[in-house]
Amino acid sequence: MERKQIEDASKICGVPCEIITRFIEEEWILPVDQTTPFLDSEDMARIKLIWELHNDFGVNDEAMPIILHLLDQLNRMHLELERFRIH
């Protein structure tokens, strides 16, 4: 899996570097390597999601962790259900 630096992720996601850095500081994004934050495709998808939630839906900083937590739970449940799915 290819990892990108914040500057590259910013260009790909269309989100300013300062905003991505804030997402990391808020721990809404958890890069694998915290010392030199490299972001993978999952991180970049989450950056886009947070940016969309904030800009398009008006989610504020207080509500963001709650929404992200609920989305994470929903994704985990979806993966669990997929494991039990009969093919």
- Per-residue HEC secondary structure of the chain comes to CCCEEHHHHHHHHCCCHHHHHHHHHCCCCCCCCCCCCEECHHHHHHHHHHHHHHHHHCCCCCCHHHHHHHHHHHHHHHHHHHHHCCC
For residue 87, the model assigns a pLDDT of 57
For residue 50, the model assigns a pLDDT of 98
Query: Would you give the DSSP letter of residue 63?
Result: T
For residue 84, the model assigns a pLDDT of 84
Q: What is the pTM of this model?
A: 0.87
For residue 23, the model assigns a pLDDT of 97
For residue 28, the model assigns a pLDDT of 97
- Residue 43 sits in a domain of what CATH number? 1.10.1660.10
> What range defines the domain where residue 28 resides?
4-84
For residue 48, the model assigns a pLDDT of 97
For residue 77, the model assigns a pLDDT of 95
Show Cβ contacts of residue 59 under 8 Å, excluding neighbours closer than 6 positions. 53, 67
| Structural domains of the chain, count | 1
Mark the ranges of the chain whose per-residue pLDDT is less than 50.
Answer: none
For residue 86, the model assigns a pLDDT of 67
